[in-house]
Structure 1
Amino acid sequence: MTTAPQSNADFGSVADKRASSTVSRETISAVTVTVLCILMLFGSRFISPGLGSWAQVETVLVLGSFLVVLCFGQGVVVLTGGLDLSLPSLITLGGILSTGLVGDHNPAQLLLLPVVLLACGAVGLMTGLGVVFLRVPPFIMSMAVAIIVASAALGFTEGTPRGAAPESLQALMKGDLFGLKWSIIFLIGFVIFGWLVQSRTVLGRYMYAVGTNVEAARIAGVPVNVARILPYVISAICSGFVGMMLVGYSNGATLRMGDDYLLPSIAAVVIGGSSILGGRGTFLGTVSGAILLTTLGTIISAIGLSFGLRSIIEGFIILVALLLLRDEIFERLRAIRRT
C-alpha cells in the first residue's frame, strides 16, 4: 500500500501546524534574550553612570544594525541546514566596490550601488549552485568562495583600497530625522521586512520545509533547489550591504573589514533560538541575539578591558545563553504549564 504525495495545500496546513507548535519556544527565546539585553544595559549603570543611557542605547542600535542585516542572510542559510563562511569576504567586496567603483561625488551612485549588490548576489549564486548541484558541503564551498573573493579583492585594490564613501551611504549611517538617526529608522524597517520574508511568505515556508526534511519537502512539491540556492544569494547581498553600511559609517574600506563578523553572525542566529541543523528559528529571535552580542561588546569596550579578556567574557556569556535556551529547559517549562 502506497501513500499519495502531499499537495501544496496539505503541506501548507502541516507547515502552519508546525509553526504554531514551535512559536511558543521561539517566542520564549526572543523574550529571554531581550530581557538579558535590558538587564545588561541597566546593570551597566552600576559600573559607570555613563552606561545604560539613551546615548548608549543609540550606539547599540547603530552598531547592531550591521550584525542584524548580516544575520538575516546567515539565518536563512542556517534555516535550510547550511552555513555561509564567505560573509567576511563579501563584506569586504561590498565595501571596496562602493569606494573604488562608485566613490563619492558620483552622480550615478544610486544606480551603481545596486550593481554592487548584484555582483555580491552573483557570488552567492555561485556558492548556492556549488552546494546544490556539485554537492560540495556548505562549509567547504563557502570557504572556497571566501578565498576566491578575498584574493580578487586584493588584486582589485593592489593591497590598498582607495576612494571615499558615497554621500548616500554617509547620509544613511550618519544622518538623522528629527533627532532620530536614519540608521535606526532603517534598522526598524529592515527588521519588519526580514520578519515578513522569513515568517509570512511562500519562500520562507519553503526554507523551513527544506531545513526540516529535504526529501519530504521534495515529495510535497517544494522547489527544493530554488529554496536551497536563494538563501546563499540573500546572504551574499546582505553581506555586501553590510560592507556598504560600514563604508558609510567609517568613510572608507579595508581588506579586513569583515573579519570580526563571521563568528558573531553564527552565534547570534543560534542564541536567537535557531537550530544549527536547520528547520527552526525566527528572525525576531536572531535580532535579539544580534542586539545582545552588540550590547555585550559595547559594555566591555566601555569598561576598557583588554581584547583577550573581552573575548573570554563574550564566549562565557554566549555559552551561558546557549545553555539557558536548550530544548530541555523548554520541555520542562511546558510540563510545568500543563500541570
Structure 2
Amino acid sequence: MTVAGDQQDKQMSLSQTGDQRKSSRVSRETISAISVAVLCVILLLGARFVSPSLGSWSQVETVLVLGSFLIVLSFGQGLVILTGGLDLSLPAVVTLGGILATNWVGATDPGAWYLLIVVLLICAGVGLVSAIGIVWLRVPPFIMTLAMSIIVSSALLGYTRGTPRGGAPEVALALMKSKMLGMPTPILFVIAFIIIAALFQSRSVPGRYLYAIGTNADAARIAGVPVVLMQILPYVISATCAGLVGIMLVGYSNGATLRMGDDYLLPSIAAVVIGGSSILGGRGTFLGTVGGALLLTTLGTIISAIGLQIGLRTIIEGAVVLIALLLLRDELFQKLGSLWR
C-alpha cells in the first residue's frame, strides 16, 4: 500500500509540475503577443508625427489587407517550426498557386472556380513530397524544402516559358477587392482565418500533438502520439497555405509573376519568432505569430510611405526585428528582474 501510495503521489507531483510549466509557457507567450500588439500601436501612432495620413483608419485597413498574406503564410510556417522544422519552399509554392490559378481559371472562365481546389491540392502535394523526404528519408528540412523550391521554380519557368499568362479568377478578385459589412472582404476573411487557425493550433488534439512532438518526439511516441503522421501534417498545411496566398496575391494584383513569393520567406520566419515561438520547436501561439506579421507589415508600410531608399529601409527593418526579438526573450526579463532585486 505504501509503495502504491508513493507512486500515486509521484504521478500527482509530475502532473502538477507539468500543469505549472504549461501555465508558465502560456503566460510567457501571452505576454509576447500583447507586447507585439503594443509595438504595432506605437508604430502607427508614432507615424502620425511623420505624416498626418499615416496612422489613420484607412492606413490601418491597408496594413490589415497587406498583412493578410503574411498571416496566412506564417500559420503554416509556424506549425512547421513548432515541430522543429523549417519550410524554405514557401516562395515557390506561393508562385505555383498564383500561376496555376491564372492559367487554369483566369478571368475568362468564372465557372471553373472549382479548379482552385485542384490548385490547392497540387500545392499540398508539394508539401507532402517534402514531408516524405524529411520524415521517411531523413533528409534535413532545410535541404529538402530548398530542393523542392528549386524544383518547383524550375518547373514553373519551363511551364510559363518565362512569361506567366492569364488574369485573376473572379473568386480571387471578389475576395481581395470587394467589401462586406462596410469593411474590405480580406479583413473579414483573415479574421475568420485567425480564429480557426488559433483554435486548431492551441485547442485541437492535432495541435496538442504538434506541441508534444516539438518538445520531445521520443516521449510523444511513447505516449501514443502518431508522430509520423503529425510530422507530415505541418508541411502539407504549410504548402496549402502558401498556395492560398498565391491565389490571394493574384486577386490583389490581378496577375501572377515568377517571383511573386520571394518577398515572403524571411518575413514568414521572422513573424513566427517575433511572436514568441521558439525556432527549436515546442513553443508558440498563432496569436503571437499574427502580432509578428502585423508588426512587420506595419513597419514596411510606414517605411514605404516615408519614401526611404531600399538600403536604409532594409537596415531599419532588420534593426527593428532584432530589437523585438531581444525584448521578447525570457532571458532578458530574467536578467532585468535579477538586477532589480
Is this a same-fold pair by TM over 0.5?
A: yes
Whether 1:183 and 2:178 are equivalent positions in the alignment is no
In structure 1, runs of 5+ residues without a counterpart are: 5-10
Whether 1:195 and 2:201 are equivalent positions in the alignment is no
Structure-2 residue corresponding to 1:246 = 249
Alignment of 1:259-338 (within 5 A): 259-331=262-334
Indicate the structure (1 or 2) with the bigger Cα radius of gyration.
2
Contact preservation (8 Å) 1:169, 1:244:
yes
Aligned in 2, Cα 1:12/1:171: closer, same or farther, shift over 3 Å? Answer: farther
For normalisation by structure 1, the TM-score amounts to: 0.93
Contact preservation (8 Å) 2:275, 2:289:
yes
Whether 1:124 and 2:127 are equivalent positions in the alignment is yes
Which of 18, 24, 45 is equivalent to 2:48? Answer: 45
CA distance in structure 1 between the aligned counterparts of 2:136 and 2:159, rounded to whole angstroms:
29
Contact preservation (8 Å) 1:25, 1:330:
no
Which of 16, 29, 33 is equivalent to 1:30? Answer: 33
How far off its partner does 1:286 sit? 0.2
How far off its partner does 1:105 sit? 3.1
Contact preservation (8 Å) 2:274, 2:321:
yes
CA distance in structure 1 between the aligned counterparts of 2:339 and 2:229, rounded to whole angstroms:
41
Whether 1:142 and 2:145 are equivalent positions in the alignment is yes
Contact preservation (8 Å) 2:110, 2:170:
no
CA distance in structure 2 between the aligned counterparts of 1:219 and 1:331, rounded to whole angstroms:
34
CA distance in structure 2 between the aligned counterparts of 1:219 and 1:178, rounded to whole angstroms:
50
CA distance in structure 2 between the aligned counterparts of 1:106 and 1:231, rounded to whole angstroms:
33
SS in 1 for 2:88: coil
1:66-111 CA-partner distances (Å, limit 9, x unpaired): 0000000000000000000000000000000000111113243331
Structure-2 residue corresponding to 1:171 = 174
How far off its partner does 1:194 sit? 0.7
SS in 2 for 1:144: helix
Contact preservation (8 Å) 1:15, 1:205:
no
**Identity in percent:** 68
CA distance in structure 2 between the aligned counterparts of 1:59 and 1:336, rounded to whole angstroms:
42
Alignment of 1:79-94 (within 5 A): 79-94=82-97
CA distance in structure 2 between the aligned counterparts of 1:296 and 1:61, rounded to whole angstroms:
12
CA distance in structure 1 between the aligned counterparts of 2:238 and 2:339, rounded to whole angstroms:
39
Whether 1:227 and 2:219 are equivalent positions in the alignment is no
Amino acid at match of 1:106: D
Amino acid at match of 2:201: Q
Structure-1 residue corresponding to 2:136 = 133
SS in 1 for 2:114: helix
CA distance in structure 1 between the aligned counterparts of 2:33 and 2:256, rounded to whole angstroms:
33
How far off its partner does 1:177 sit? 1.1
CA distance in structure 2 between the aligned counterparts of 1:113 and 1:82, rounded to whole angstroms:
28
Structure-2 residue corresponding to 1:110 = 113
Aligned in 2, Cα 1:31/1:68: closer, same or farther, shift over 3 Å? Answer: same
Structure-2 residue corresponding to 1:8 = none
Contact preservation (8 Å) 2:110, 2:169:
no
Question: CA-atom RMSD, angstroms?
Answer: 2.0
CA distance in structure 1 between the aligned counterparts of 2:337 and 2:178, rounded to whole angstroms:
46
Which of 72, 75, 78 is equivalent to 1:72? Answer: 75
Superposed structure 1 runs of 4+ greater than 6 Å apart: 11-15, 333-337
Contact preservation (8 Å) 1:33, 1:289:
yes
CA distance in structure 2 between the aligned counterparts of 1:188 and 1:16, rounded to whole angstroms:
30
Which of 210, 213, 228 is equivalent to 2:213? Answer: 210
Structure-2 residue corresponding to 1:257 = 260
For normalisation by structure 2, the TM-score amounts to: 0.93
Amino acid at match of 1:301: S
SS in 2 for 1:46: coil
